Structure 1
Amino acid sequence: MSSRLHRFDRYQQERRWLAFPVAVVRKYGDDQGGHLAALIAYYAFVSLFPLLLVSVAVLGFVLQGDASLRNDIVNSTLSKLPGIGDQLKLDPGSLHGSGVALAIGVATSLWAGMGITQAVQAAFNRIWGVPFKRRPNFLTSRLRGLGVLAGLALITVLSFGLTGLVVSAVPGVLAKIAGYLVGFAINICLYLTVFRLLTAAPQRWRVNLVGAVVGAAFWELLQVAGASYAKHVIAKDQRAYGIFGLVLGMLALLYLGAQITVIAAEVNVVRARQLWPRSLFTALTSGDQAALRQAAETEERVDEEIVDVSFAKTPPQSP
């Protein structure tokens, strides 16, 4: 059995099509990707409703003369949450009050909603191996998060108009296909924005393209699967467990979305830094050493601290 495992290990190391996904899985394990995804999902759940309130308030101010368009944009955004968006419909007209009270409410909700950007920044910086001493400080990280939220909001509003134009210009069944393609392209733009702006590591936009495509593709699949899940599971759970069924369904889907995001980020790092092939059972490869060195150097916390990594020579293993 041991000899077969060693042969498979050598086999995957010699073939890029297999070595690359193996390296992504190994890197995901090194970074404790499941824990990172759980943290992102938690903050996404906590931040979801404050950010929805901010969106409704801002759209209500910008589109005061077009309540129908305002409602359509909000509900279109919610529909991108696979399976649960239809159960979170809001009435933008229900928010009212004095200007000062609304401003305070929006500011408070925005601050609460920025938790998701902080969780994603922490995850991406760990995945990219950014040392603690090179990560943004308290103020910079929140300004960066605020900028990302503004950028995502702008992309979402523009995508609403673009989707409407494309679908209306294409007849029949092609309209549905065109809608999926436009949605896929928009998701790529969203992932590119998040990957680029929420990572302190110096990089170019194109470095994140492959991961953005992977993330967007799996997100589209999650939307389809999530709709079916909501129809057959969440609806049933809601009848049995009430609001708890909806909460459990939301957490499950947010966690899957966070997993997709973390894996897509790992794809970018493994590809950009050529962290493959990775060893499963045999001696450390150059990819192993590079990944382990990056993980160790991440712990540098002050400018005076320098982590130096070396590896003992390992004798070749017999098959």
Structure 2
Amino acid sequence: MVALRRIDDFQRRHTWAGMPLAVVYKFIDDQGMYLAALLAYYGFLSLFPLLLLLVSTLALLLDNDPGLRQQVLDSALHKFPVLGDQLRENIHTFETNGVALATGVLGSIYGGLGVAQAAQHALNKIWAVPRHARPNPLRARLRGLGFIAVLAVGLVATTALSAAASSAGSFGLRLGVASRVASALAVILLNSVLLVLAVRILNQAEVDVRGLWRTAVGGACAWQALQWGGAYYVRHFLNGASTTYGMFGIVLGLLAWLYLGALVFVFTAETGAVRAYRLWPRSLLTPFTDQVRLSRADRRAYRSYAETQVFKDSQRITVEFRNAPSAPTGTAGRPAKDAARHDAGDKDPDGGAD
């Protein structure tokens, strides 16, 4: 117990240790695995129709310039390392196909709205928006359409960046390391903007956008690393696989890739909420026992979870924290009376006001 007390005191005093722990604990409290799974499910439904729409549209618009069309497709589809290769190899089946275009439009709208609804639910839960303050179904879907429009603009912009780099190489211009790094940084910056806009559009809470940038940049870097990892997986594990194994690998790899991407989004949102509401440092043993010395951040977090369940504006919920149950020694080795005194409002080692 003495060792646990020392570890707890250490992470409370050091932000670099206490902040990640608080993000993980809030992720667990918010059922982040479920939120990510919901996003991945709707992402799986919408991704193929979205790419089908993109491929069909490009096939129609760039029909007179096959070379440019192929460069743009390669630039766009390499961002989806598991499914993009399949569409790239079968591009000829979608050319001037009105049925494919109509299917892509309808499927993209349905799946995209599902992703938007799942993202709204996740963000409102993470940012502790009371149920009565969340938008009604009609307004929520209008926000979802705005979110889809932002994603479409972002996809076009990132595709244009990648296509410009590919075009430079096709004209014999060799891009140096500095140029490639600059291109990757531009994509990361653009993805950071998309993350900030997603939180701002889909979240009903008042969000300080300036405070989100550092978190968004970290999420964009993680997303870029995930794309590179997906491309590596395809090149080294799916190439040369048998038809049956390759199909299973494609489906499972796509689901895993989408789930990891959803985890990046959820963890980015959790980190932003923890920073904005100052939900750290948390007590080390909070998820495991009631015999624990709650920090001010613990109390703020648990209070927000209760207030999130307010369904009506006239409804009021009051949260009260009583002394921890008696024990021979308090959590982390302190006497029980010392822990009770801490709960009663004595000097808080974490500092700050509740």
Q: Same fold (TM over 0.5)?
A: yes
C-alpha distance in structure 1 between counterparts of 2:3 and 2:202, whole Å: 42
Aligned to 1:120: 119
C-alpha distance in structure 2 between counterparts of 1:109 and 1:219, whole Å: 22
Tell me whether 1:292 sits opposite 2:302 in the alignment. Answer: yes
Q: Where in structure 2 are the equivalents of 1:227-246 lying within 5 Å?
A: 227-235=231-239, 239-246=243-250
Aligned to 2:97: 96
Post-superposition offset of 1:150: 1.1
Cα gap change, 1:54 to 1:143, in 2 (>3 Å) = farther
C-alpha distance in structure 2 between counterparts of 1:288 and 1:141, whole Å: 31
Post-superposition offset of 1:205: 2.2
Q: Is the 8 A contact 1:129 1:297 kept in 2?
A: yes
Q: Is the 8 A contact 2:39 2:118 kept in 1?
A: yes
What TM-score does the superposition give when structure 1 sets the normalisation length? 0.87
Aligned to 1:31: 30
Post-superposition offset of 1:83: 4.6
Q: Is the 8 A contact 1:125 1:200 kept in 2?
A: yes
C-alpha distance in structure 1 between counterparts of 2:58 and 2:84, whole Å: 18
1 or 2 for the larger relative contact order (CA 8 Å, sep ≥6)?
Answer: 1
Kindly provide the CA deviation profile for residues 186-231 of structure 1, in whole angstroms up to 9, marking residues without a partner as x. 2212212222212111213223212211111111211222222222
Alignment-mate amino acid for residue 189 of structure 2? A
Post-superposition offset of 1:149: 1.2
Q: Is the 8 A contact 1:278 1:288 kept in 2?
A: yes
C-alpha distance in structure 1 between counterparts of 2:204 and 2:57, whole Å: 29
Bigger radius of gyration: 2
Post-superposition offset of 1:245: 2.0
* Two-structure CA RMSD over aligned residues (Å): 2.7
Q: Is the 8 A contact 2:60 2:95 kept in 1?
A: no
Moved more, 302-311 or 119-128: 302-311
Post-superposition offset of 1:85: 2.7
Post-superposition offset of 1:181: 1.6
Post-superposition offset of 1:247: 0.5
Cα gap change, 1:197 to 1:37, in 2 (>3 Å) = same
Kindly provide the CA deviation profile for residues 90-132 of structure 1, in whole angstroms up to 9, marking residues without a partner as x. 638524338xx96686245412332111111111111111111
Q: Is the 8 A contact 2:77 2:84 kept in 1?
A: yes
SS at match of 1:299: coil
Cα gap change, 1:103 to 1:257, in 2 (>3 Å) = closer
Q: Is the 8 A contact 2:230 2:257 kept in 1?
A: yes
C-alpha distance in structure 1 between counterparts of 2:141 and 2:179, whole Å: 40
Q: Where in structure 2 are the equivalents of 1:213-232 lying within 5 Å?
A: 213-232=217-236
Q: Is the 8 A contact 1:210 1:267 kept in 2?
A: no
C-alpha distance in structure 2 between counterparts of 1:171 and 1:74, whole Å: 20
Q: Is the 8 A contact 1:79 1:85 kept in 2?
A: yes
What TM-score does the superposition give when structure 2 sets the normalisation length? 0.79
Alignment-mate amino acid for residue 311 of structure 2? R
Aligned to 1:191: 195
Q: Where in structure 2 are the equivalents of 1:57-136 lying within 5 Å?
A: 59=58, 69-89=68-88, 91=91, 94-97=95-98, 106-107=105-106, 109-136=108-135
Kindly provide the CA deviation profile for residues 151-199 of structure 1, in whole angstroms up to 9, marking residues without a partner as x. 2211222333345557848843333222222221222122122222121
C-alpha distance in structure 2 between counterparts of 1:42 and 1:104, whole Å: 19
